[in-house]
Amino acid sequence: MSYFFQIVVSGMVVGSIYALAALGLVLVYKSSRVANFAHGQIIAAGAFITFYLTTTVGIPIFFSFLASMVITFFLAMSVERIFLRRLIGEPIISVIMVTIGLASIIDGLIYLTPFGTENFSFPPFLPQDPLSLGGVSISWTQLVGMIITFIMIGGFSWFFKKSTVGISMRAVSDDQFGSMSVGISVPRVFGLAWATAGLSAAAAGCIIGNITGLNFDTLHAFGIVVFPVVILGGLDSILGAVVAGIIMGLIQQFASGYLDGNWGLNGTGDVMPYVILLIILLFKPHGLFGIHEIERV
C-alpha cells in the first residue's frame, strides 16, 4: 500500500510541475490565441539563467530565482514585441511555425553555451535527507517545489480574477474589438501575457532543474509534453491546467509504476499522456474546462 501512496505523492509532485509549466502556455493562449511551442526553451533558459547567477555570479539562490524571473519576463516580452506582434491576424499555421522557429533559434543559442550539451545540477541548499511520513518519502526539493508551485498558481489566479491588468487580459481573450473600444491596449496585453508566461516558465524551470538536474534535453522536452496537459484541461482555463497537470502527473507515475516491467513494457510514462490525449480529443475535444467555440459561416 505504501508503494501506492508513494506513486500518488510523486504523481502529485510531477503533476504540480506540469501545472506550473502549463500555466505559461495557457496564459499566452488565453489572451492572444497563440500556441507557444517555444515554451520548453524558455523554461530551460530560465533554469540556466538561475544556475549561472547562482554559481558563476554568486548570488544566493533565492535572489537569482527572482532575478531570472525578471529577466525572462523582459525576454518573453521582447520576443512578443519583435516576432509575434507582426503576426496578429495571420493564419494559425504561421503563428505555430513562428514559435517553432523561435524554439529552434533559442536551441541554437543554448547549444553555443556549455549548457546545451553538458549536465549540471544546482548546489544543494535544502536538507538532503528526504522527509518520511508513514512509509511515504518525499524529498525537500520536491516539497518546496510543490509549495512554490501552488503559491504561484494561487497568485496567478488572484491576478486574473482581481487585478485590473488581469481583468483586461480576460477581456482581450473574450473579445478583442470590444476590449479595444473600452480603452484596453490589446498589443500591450499581449506583451504582458507573454511576459507573465516567461516569468512562470522561469519559475517552472528552476523547480524542475532542482528536482531533475539541469539537462537541456529534459528541460525543453517539457515544452512538448505540456501540450497534452493543456489540451486535457482545455487550452484557456487556468483551473483546467492545474487539474489536468495533476491528472497527467498521476497517470504518468501510475503508468511507469505499474505498467513498466510487466508484459515487457517500458517507458510507458512517456507515451501515456499522448494516448490519453488522443482519447480525450476523440470524445471531448475541448477538454475538461475548455470553452466550446461556436462557429458561424
The contact set with other proteins (CB under 8 A) reads: 35, 83, 86-87, 90, 92-94, 96-98, 100-109, 111-112, 114, 116-117, 224, 227-228, 231, 235, 265-267, 270-271, 274-275, 277-278, 281-282, 285-286, 295, 297
Distances (CA, A) of 119 to 39, 48, 113, 114: 20, 11, 12, 9
Q: Minimum CB separation from other proteins for residue 28, in Å?
A: 12
CA atoms within 13 A on the CB side of 286: 8
The span from the CA of 2 to the CA of 5, in Å, is 5
For the chain, how are helix, strand and coil distributed in percent, rounded to 5?
A: 75, 5, 20
The span from the CA of 284 to the CA of 282, in Å, is 6
Q: Minimum CB separation from other proteins for residue 282, in Å?
A: 6
Measured from the CB atom, the residue of 88 and 126 that comes closer to other proteins is 88
Measured from the CB atom, the residue of 82 and 151 that comes closer to other proteins is 82
Q: Minimum CB separation from other proteins for residue 193, in Å?
A: 16
Give the containing element (helix H, strand E) for 242: helix 238-254
Burial class (CB in 10 A: 0-12, 13-18, 19+), 16: buried
Measured from the CB atom, the residue of 108 and 155 that comes closer to other proteins is 108
Closest CA to 21 of 277, 263, 225: 225
Give the containing element (helix H, strand E) for 89: none
Q: Minimum CB separation from other proteins for residue 155, in Å?
A: 27
Measured from the CB atom, the residue of 8 and 97 that comes closer to other proteins is 97
Closest CA to 155 of 242, 52, 43: 242
Measured from the CB atom, the residue of 35 and 59 that comes closer to other proteins is 35
Q: 92-112 and 216-233 helices cross at what angle (nearest 10)? A: 160
Distances (CA, A) of 202 to 67, 149, 215, 257: 10, 12, 15, 29
Measured from the CB atom, the residue of 106 and 146 that comes closer to other proteins is 106
Q: Minimum CB separation from other proteins for residue 270, in Å?
A: 6
Cα angle 166, 88, 174; round to 5? 35
Q: Minimum CB separation from other proteins for residue 294, in Å?
A: 11
Q: Minimum CB separation from other proteins for residue 243, in Å?
A: 18
Measured from the CB atom, the residue of 66 and 225 that comes closer to other proteins is 225
Q: Minimum CB separation from other proteins for residue 177, in Å?
A: 21
Measured from the CB atom, the residue of 84 and 184 that comes closer to other proteins is 84
